[in-house]
Amino acid sequence: MASPRSILLSSLLLASSATAQDFGSSGRSEEAFSYIQPENTTILTQYGSSPAVYPSPNITSDGTWASALVKAKDFLSLLTLEEKAYMVTGAPGPCVGNIYPIPRLNFSGLCLQDGPLSIRVADYASVFEAGVTAASSWDRKLLYERAYAMGEEFKGKGAQVALAPVAGPLGRSAYGGRNWEGFAADPYLTGVAMEESIKGFQDAGVQATAKHYIANEQETMRNPEYNDNATLTDVLYEAVSANLDDRTMHELYLWPFANAVRANVASVMCSYQRLNGSYACQNSKALNGLLKEELGFQGYVMSDWGGTHSGVAAIEAGLDMDMPGGIGMYGLYPEAGSFFGGNVTTAVNNGTLDVSRLDDMILRIMTPYYALNQDVDFPSVDESGADLNTFSPRSTWLRDWNFTGEYGRDVRGDHGSIIRRHAAEATILLKNVNNALPLKAPKIIAVFGNDAGDDTQGFLNQVDFEYGTLSAGGGSGTGRLTYLSTPLNAINNRASQDGALVQYWLNNTLIESSEMPALWNPKTPEVCLVFLKTWAEEGADREHLSTDWNGDDVVESVASYCNNTVVITHSSGINTLPWADHENVTAIVAAHYPGQESGNSIVEVLYGDVNPSGRLPYTIAFNGTDYNAPPTTGINSTGVEDWQTWFDEKLEIDYRYFDANNISVRYEFGFGLSYTTFAISDIQAEALVDDITATPEAQATVPGGNPALWESIYNVTVSLNNTGDVCGATVPQLYVTFPDSAPAGTPPYQLRGFEKVTLEAGECQTVSFELMRRDISYWDIISQEWVIPQGDFTISVGHSSRDFEQVTTITPIAA
Ligand code: BGC
């Protein structure tokens, strides 16, 4: 094995502009570490440091991908060294990321496209509900169905690789600019969502990419700053370093990626920022150690766009594909070269890089390709995407592309109806008094807010315009709408069935002005529907947790003269809703980013065609300042390495923090109302295995890690009853409280089970939750193992993280 030092030096020889930190340190003083390092442990467990883990593990697939690996080996055996170099290096072309075709081997290349809610650079594609919306459904089937439908669209457009789904950011900070692209501020729920999404994409024949790995929790300073942006040289500041300890890594941030690997995800995208001092795309502990060794990942690691900061150092640390590669960030930075490409050929030729590592990179790239049968009848890239691709326009291409097949294919199918159903089922009812909802065919309706109507400045890519309803956030995670059902249109359509009068005011400044009451005509409406929006986008963190465009003042104003004010939010996530207790605000509905069927889906909920069953995937506190772990937004010094963010809160993010510190919140994690009511009774817990051991049996690693961690060891059942008058769905949730013998810092309650269940009025059903070994273990930093602590666990099942109806105890390991 090459020593880390020699790797470092050789990479510097290869690419002199590389900032090759393959084993990083955040530079924090020893005293600041959260615990004393025991003598017999290695640096592995230290907070804020990243030990070297080499060499990069080879693909070992002998399970589901065995026959694909054989094909990949045959393919590899036919490649020249130059072809190998370009198999691992992106190039300008029709897609957001491209691997060149090799016609002599019948390899059509790889087309990589964003993103998590749509195939973004495409015409005639659907804009699905955002990740945060889908997660609000707490519905495994919905999550699978969404990804499968998206996968069909990626495939139809000729994209082998979908740059989705997102588990980083997880939602450490309420202010994170990209939280909405991911799922929930909880590793368990996000883990389930990752697994279902990956299965959905890959069952549709498209490679999924679990991104952004790892601890990518803020947008501010996610990339380095340069004195010369044209050539990406002369670093002013390195990107922010996310510094966290080993336990937090395992129990929060790595957790959902473990689910992703277990679901056989084809690819993992490493993130932009530094991790414990070393760039995430060249952090050998994260890539070689955690991902490939501990979790047994068999696919390939691709860089985020421009996230590669060295050649051989990154390759040895576990990076398998440089994106977008080619000529750097293409049109953006035309003079910046790739650290891969020709440099890889040189490194192999001069002995700096062993060709066996390059071969493994290619096997990792091609095995999922064959496993998903992408060599057989995969549609060609739709040329219309090339014409829409502003990232690498044709002028930047180095080769011609051979396009075949129809131009501008319509891949939407009947997905509009799926999106409409999903968005309705994911809508969260937060408040409902005086039977305000569902609406009972009101005859006079007033609609307020700049979020209610048509987008007045186009909607090919969502931007934060003043006028128009918000169906998605911004950046690479957005979508290109082909149509948009707005709330106002959908309300008009529905109200016309009742012969109702609909009046509307879309100018927030007017609505909050004193002129407004005089504009009523002919008399007070039966219901005032206020639509508010909150923008978030890639590249920026949120500055506040209020709704945008003076939304809070708009509500206060309408509620001051309308005693049946119903507020609907279209938001990236957390809003603090300071008017929630106003007596005239009779209902509050959080619809997040619902996608193209926004209006139709919200009308179904408002009128009761769909009984809302969404649950919060995060906590709504009373004030923005109640949240811990804000993004690091500034530093007071000028050192190149000085952007550091310390995950000092450790496991205490979102509800774990509020619970541990007994802080009252407005609406807790897991909360959501229905038009009916549910009761939970008769909890039973049964061990599924005899003689449970504290640590898992040592077994050969499979994708996801030690299979013993995924073994179900308890079954908990409850009886669930719809005690109301109408059919509805609900989500019983199971939270685990660890015994006192668990290490300090263990959160009081942790989600470890949930199930979406639909029941007719009066219907009763038994619901089971299987607890896996990982669910009741903590990560022991000393033994580097998942451990079940001794003593009694409390198992609580209820309607949210703070509304438990049934409690029992289990004692897997007697004290
Ligand atoms: C984003 C990725 C995205 C890539 C390609 C990056 O800036 O972080 O999520 O897939 O661009 O558009």
The pLDDT of residue 33 is 28
Q: Measuring from atom 6 of ligand 1, which residue has the nearest CA? A: 305
Which residues lie across from 716 on neighbouring strands?
Answer: 685, 769
**Mean pLDDT confidence for 325-334:** 53
- Consecutive H or E run containing 193: helix 187-203
The reply to whether ligand 1 has any atom less than 6 angstroms from the CB of 96 is: yes
565-571: strand order across its sheet: 428-432, 585-590, 565-571, 527-534, 444-448, 501-505
Share of the chain above pLDDT 90, in %: 85
| Spacing, Cα 490 to ligand 1 middle (Å) | 33
Please state the atom number of ligand 1 nearest to the C-alpha of residue 391: 12
Nearest CA to ligand 1 atom 5: 305
- The single residue of 22, 114, 304, 626 carrying the catalytic annotation is 304
pLDDT score for 44: 43
Q: Can you give the pLDDT at residue 161?
A: 98
Q: Tell me which of 21-30, 219-228, 244-253 is least confident.
A: 21-30
464 labelled catalytic = no
Positions of CATH 3.20.20.300 in the chain: 65-392
Beta-strand pair 267-270/207-213: parallel
The domain defined by 414-618 folds into Rossmann fold (3.40.50)
pLDDT at 278: 95
Residues 94, 384: Cα–Cα separation, whole Å: 9
Indicate if the alpha-carbon torsion angle 255, 257, 258, 262 is positive or negative.
positive
Measured from the CB, is residue 476 less than 6 Å from ligand 1?
Answer: yes
CATH 2.60.40.10 domain extents, the chain: 676-813
pLDDT digits (tens, 9 = 90+) for 422-450: 999 999 999 999 999 999 999 999 999 99
**Given a cut of 50, is residue 36 above it in pLDDT?**
no
Closest approach atom of ligand 1 to CA 181: 9
In the predicted structure, residue 526 carries a pLDDT above the cut 70: yes
CA of 724 to the centre of ligand 1 (A): 46
Higher per-residue confidence, 518 vs 66: 66
Please state the rounded mean pLDDT for residues 172-200.
98
Q: What is the CA radius of gyration of the chain?
A: 26
- Tell me which of 214, 216, 538 to substitute to probe ligand 1's pocket, judged by most ligand atoms within 8 Å of the beta carbon: 538
Main-chain dihedrals φ then ψ at residue 570, nearest 5 degrees: -115, 105
The rounded Å distance from CA 162 to ligand 1 centre is: 11
Mean pLDDT over 174-193 rounds to 98
Q: Are 734 and 759 in contact (CB under 8 A)?
A: no
User: Do 357 and 426 touch, CB atoms closer than 8 A?
Assistant: no
Band of the pLDDT at 15, cuts 50, 70, 90?
A: very low
Tens of pLDDT, residue by residue over 243-293, are: 999 999 999 999 999 999 999 999 999 999 999 999 999 999 999 999 999
DSSP, residue by residue, 223-257: S-EEEETTTTEEEEEPPPEEE--HHHIIIIISHHH
The pLDDT score that the predictor gives to residue 459 is: 65
- Cis peptide before 36, with omega less than 30 degrees from 0? no
Cβ of 184 less than 6 Å from ligand 1: no
pLDDT value at residue 23:
38
- Stated pTM of the model: 0.94
Of all protein residues, the one whose alpha carbon is nearest to atom 7 of ligand 1 is: 305
**Tens digit of pLDDT for each residue in 533-589?**
999 999 999 999 999 999 999 999 999 989 999 999 999 999 999 999 999 999 999
> Burial level of 83, CB count in 10 A (0-12/13-18/19+)?
middle
Average pLDDT score over residue span 209-235:
90
- CA proximity to 71, closest of 81, 59, 83, 80: 59
Angle at 28 (CA atoms; ends 23, 31), nearest 5 degrees: 125
Please tell me the distance from the alpha carbon of residue 4 to that of residue 54, in angstroms, as a whole number: 8
| Distance, CA of 73 to CA of 78 (rounded, Å) | 9
From the CA of 272, how far away is ligand 1's center (Å)? Answer: 10
155 lines ligand 1 (CB under 6 A): no
> How far is it, in rounded angstroms, from Cα 148 to Cα 201?
5
- What are 687-743's pLDDT values in tens digits? 999 999 999 999 999 999 999 999 999 999 999 999 999 999 999 999 999 999 999
Q: How is residue 382 written in tokens?
A: 């739709």
Q: Give the C-alpha separation, 519 to 74, whole Å.
A: 75
Helices (H), 626-712: 654-660
Architecture per CATH, 676-813: Sandwich (2.60)
Distance from the alpha carbon of residue 108 to the mean position of ligand 1, in angstroms: 23
Q: Indicate where the chain has its CATH 3.40.50.1700 domain(s).
A: 414-618
Closest CA to 1 of 295, 273, 284, 403: 284
**pLDDT tens readout for residues 743-768:** 999 999 999 999 999 999 999 999 99
Q: What pLDDT sits at residue 326?
A: 64
Q: Is 219 in the pocket of ligand 1 (CB under 6 A)?
A: no
pLDDT of residue 336: 58
Task: Inform me whether the pLDDT recorded for 651 exceeds 90.
Answer: yes
Interatomic CA distance for residues 343 and 326, integer angstroms: 11
Classify residue 293 by its DSSP letter: I
124-137 pLDDT, tens digit per residue, is: 999 999 999 999 99
Atom of ligand 1 nearest to the CA of 209: 10
Q: Which residues contact 617 (CB under 8 A, 6 or more apart)?
A: 132, 135, 136, 138, 171, 183, 184, 185, 186, 189, 669
Distance (Å, rounded) from C-alpha 622 to C-alpha 652? Answer: 18
Mean per-residue pLDDT of the chain = 92
Amino acid occupying residue 170: L
- pLDDT more than 70, % of the chain: 92
pLDDT band, residue 28 (cuts 50/70/90): very low
Q: Which residues pair with 772 in a beta bridge?
A: 712
Judged against a pLDDT cut of 90, whether residue 391 lies above it is answered with no
pLDDT of 46 strictly over 80: no
CATH T-level topology, domain 65-392? TIM Barrel (3.20.20)
**Of 45 and 458, the one with more pLDDT:** 458
Give the residue among 795, 731, 751, 544 at the shortest CA–CA distance from 651: 751
Q: Which of 15-29, 38-52, 452-466, 551-565 has the highest mean pLDDT?
A: 551-565
What pLDDT, on the 0 to 100 scale, is given for residue 364?
98
Ligand 1 centroid to residue 125 C-alpha, Å: 19
pLDDT for res 400 = 87
pLDDT at residue 292, rounded to an integer: 98
